[in-house]
Every structure is written in structure tokens, then in C-alpha cells.
């Protein structure tokens, strides 16, 4: 029974854990945005999309 009570107390995240999670997610999104909007990656993505749109079905 003690394990059940302890599990219920640790069931969710506290505000500080949410804050750290949000900061980490924003940092990852910013890094991903920088990579995706860089010149070489942008050209590659445009090439992939262009080839996908020109596929004969």
C-alpha cells in the first residue's frame, strides 16, 4: 500500500519540471529552425519537394 501512495504523489510533473521541459523544447525548436532555414538544407528541401511534385503516377 505504501508503494501505491508514493506512486500517486509522483504521478505528475511540478511547475519547475514543466518550465525546464518548455525551455528545452523551445531550444530544440530554435536549433531545428536554424538548421532547416540554412542555405544548403533549404536547397535540399526544395529539391525534395520539387521531385515529389513532379512524380508521374
pLDDT (tens digit per residue) in 39-48:
888 888 889 9
Enter the C-alpha cell of residue 53.
511534385
Cell numbers 514543466: residue = 18
Average pLDDT over residues 6-16: 69
What is the pLDDT, as a whole number, of residue 30?
95
What is the pLDDT, as a whole number, of residue 40?
85
What is the pLDDT, as a whole number, of residue 35?
85
Cell numbers 512524380: residue = 55
Determine the distance from the C-alpha atom of residue 35 to the mean position of all C-alpha atoms in its chain, rounded to a whole number.
13
pLDDT (tens digit per residue) in 14-56:
888 889 999 999 999 999 998 888 888 888 888 999 999 988 7
Do 36 and 45 touch, CB atoms closer than 8 A? yes
Amino acid at each position: 500500500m505504501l508503494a501505491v501512495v508514493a506512486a500517486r504523489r509522483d504521478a505528475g510533473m511540478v511547475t519547475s519540471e514543466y518550465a525546464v521541459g518548455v525551455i528545452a523544447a523551445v531550444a530544440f525548436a530554435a536549433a531545428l529552425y536554424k538548421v532547416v532555414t540554412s542555405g544548403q538544407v533549404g536547397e535540399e528541401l526544395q529539391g525534395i519537394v520539387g521531385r515529389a511534385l513532379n512524380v508521374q503516377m
